[in-house]
């Protein structure tokens, strides 16, 4: 029971790292019209600038998207948080191109979630121009590669970036390492090796890192162990082994760590537990 309880607590911790919600935010309800989710009339007491909205065009035909895609985006001009999922890349690109042509800006937008989309490099470049004050970007499950990472790296004002489940490899990790303001980064399941972990370890302000489900070994553990700004670290499902565990055990400043499924033996796991003063820890013995 204790193990199950601990697993639940840690799972909740990692799942909330990239959540773009705040106590003073309000999710705007949407009323479907011809398959389009539009913002409903809201309470006059609410401040529009503090609202967030979830918008999905997954069920629309191509014709409907062409006719209606730009209009809802224009209606969101004062929102701070927007989520758009499962939209055809060409149609979204057309809408953002139109907004660029009319010199439209999402000046209040700070959090943008675009998961499960086929994101293109030109689309990322348009987002950079349209949302100059963006602080948090979620492009997980979006088929991104190194060229996409290069485009994202130009959004150097970002502090939170979720790139989970893409194909960045070490080259993409290099471009992300140029984003000096990042505090929270998710690069799990991206084919990153020790070389890429070395790049990421150079981020000077990084506090929360999820680099799980990659091919990071002892060399990557060595690099990460020098990153003293980190507070939480998820290196689960990698190739650290006993040697990597020795380097991780030196990171006494960590508050939360997940090093499950790394081929670490019982003795190194005990060493990690003894060496680290942790609030949460999740481990397994192989």
Q: Model confidence over 181-197: pLDDT tens digits?
A: 999 999 999 999 999 99
Residue 56 has pLDDT above 80, yes or no: no
Please tell me the predicted confidence (pLDDT) of residue 229.
Answer: 96
Selection from 184, 251, 262, 254 nearest residue 216 by Cα: 262
- Name the one residue in this structure whose structure tokens are 């989309």: 117
DSSP state of 159: S
Q: Are the CB atoms for 168 and 144 separated by under 8 Å?
A: yes
Q: Are the CB atoms for 250 and 228 separated by under 8 Å?
A: no
For the chain, the domain total comes to 1
| Residue 130, H or E segment | helix 121-130
pTM listed for this prediction: 0.78
Structure tokens at 164: 């989970």
Dist. CA 285–CA 148, nearest whole Å: 37
Dist. CA 172–CA 153, nearest whole Å: 9
Q: Is 186 domain-assigned? A: no
Selection from 30, 152, 135, 15 nearest residue 80 by Cα: 135
Q: Is 260 domain-assigned? A: no
Selection from 34, 79, 75 nearest residue 53 by Cα: 79
Q: Are the CB atoms for 151 and 125 separated by under 8 Å?
A: yes
Q: Is 132 domain-assigned? A: yes
Give the domain extent around 117.
2-143
- SS3 state of residue 31: strand
Selection from 197, 268, 257 nearest residue 230 by Cα: 257
Q: Is 150 domain-assigned? A: no
Selection from 254, 172, 8, 253 nearest residue 235 by Cα: 254
Q: Is 168 domain-assigned? A: no
- SS3 state of residue 285: coil
Beta strands 111-113 and 136-138 are parallel
pLDDT-above-90 percentage for the chain: 52
Q: Is 176 domain-assigned? A: no
Q: Is 254 domain-assigned? A: no
Q: Is 14 domain-assigned? A: yes
Q: Which of 36-50, 200-214, 254-268 has the lowest mean pLDDT?
A: 36-50
Please tell me the predicted confidence (pLDDT) of residue 19.
Answer: 52
Chain-wide mean pLDDT for the chain?
78
Angle between helices 89-101 and 121-130 (to 10 degrees): 40
Selection from 41, 19, 16 nearest residue 28 by Cα: 41
Interval 17-41: pLDDT, tens: 555 433 333 322 222 222 323 233 3
């Amino acid at each position: 029971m204790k193990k199950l309880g601990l697993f639940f607590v840690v799972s909740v911790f990692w799942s909330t790292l990239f959540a773009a919600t705040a106590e003073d935010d309000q999710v705007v309800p949407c009323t479907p019209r011809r398959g389009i989710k539009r913002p409903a009339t809201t309470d006059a007491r609410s401040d529009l600038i503090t609202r967030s909205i979830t918008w999905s065009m997954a069920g629309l035909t191509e014709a409907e998207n062409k006719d209606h895609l730009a209009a809802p985006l224009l209606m969101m001009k004062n929102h701070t948080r927007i989520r758009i999922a499962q939209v055809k890349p060409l149609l979204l690109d057309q809408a953002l191109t139109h907004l660029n042509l009319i010199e439209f800006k999402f000046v209040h937008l700070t959090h943008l979630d675009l998961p499960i989309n086929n994101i293109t490099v030109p689309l990322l470049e348009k987002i950079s121009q349209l949302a100059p004050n963006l602080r948090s970007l979620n492009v997980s499950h979006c088929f991104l590669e190194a060229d996409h990472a290069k485009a994202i790296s130009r959004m150097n004002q970002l502090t939170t970036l979720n790139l989970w489940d893409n194909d960045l490899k070490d080259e993409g990790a290099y471009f992300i390492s140029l984003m000096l303001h990042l505090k929270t980064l998710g690069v799990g399941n991206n084919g990153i090796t020790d070389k890429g972990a070395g790049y990421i370890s150079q981020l000077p302000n990084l506090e929360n890192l999820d680099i799980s489900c990659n091919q990071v070994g002892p060399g990557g553990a060595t690099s990460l162990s020098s990153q003293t700004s980190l507070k939480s670290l998820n290196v689960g499902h990698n190739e650290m082994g006993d040697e990597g565990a020795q380097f991780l055990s030196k990171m006494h400043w960590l508050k939360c760590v997940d090093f499950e499924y790394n081929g670490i033996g019982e003795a190194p796991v005990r060493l990690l537990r003894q060496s680290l003063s942790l609030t949460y820890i999740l481990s397994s013995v192989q």
